[in-house]
Copies of this chain bind each other. A is one copy, B any other.
Amino acid sequence: MRRSKLFPTSDEAETAFYDAFERGDLAAMMAVWAESDAVVCVHPRGPRLVGFDAVRDSWTQIFAGGNTQLRIKSTELRKFDGQSVAVHTLVEVLTAPGQQATQSVCSTNVYELTDAGWRMVVHHATPLADPVAVPAEEEPASGRHTLH
């Protein structure tokens, strides 16, 4: 696969990731990911996908489902940037077309400096629980299924 874009920083890779996500642009999305069998992607409530092909298949299905024109606002960003590995944790606030309700997703995004610039190697996304609810793992464990 030929790639026209190189991302000189992890920030630029992240901007490209969310831009591709909002537009539902599969080619642009996969240009952000490292072409590696080691990449990991966890969509909200989804399985753990490992490897470029499995990750591409998942985005193909997501974009086929009509997620175009989604609006994603990145908030509460924390960065741990190294020389070759960078981690951004943030809260995505997603709004679907024609809707006012938003959904908050907590994401950990990992980028690695490759020969082709910075690429995403991990996207781990979790729907955030209702902030007023008591999370299961903070209650006594006895009689509960949640261990952690």
Contact = CB atoms under 8 A, between A and B. Distances in A.
A46 B130 CA distance: 9
A148 B125 contact: yes
Interface in A17-41: 21, 38, 40
A141 to B, nearest CB: 4
Contact of A85 (B38, B80, B89, B129): B80
- Copies of this subunit: 2
A66 interface: yes
Contact of A138 (B58, B86, B139): B58
A46 B82 contact: no
A44 B86 contact: no
A135 B48 CA distance: 11
A61 interface: yes
A108 B110 contact: yes
10 contacts: A21-B148, A38-B78, A45-B136, A46-B138, A66-B141, A72-B148, A83-B83, A89-B122, A94-B147, A124-B126
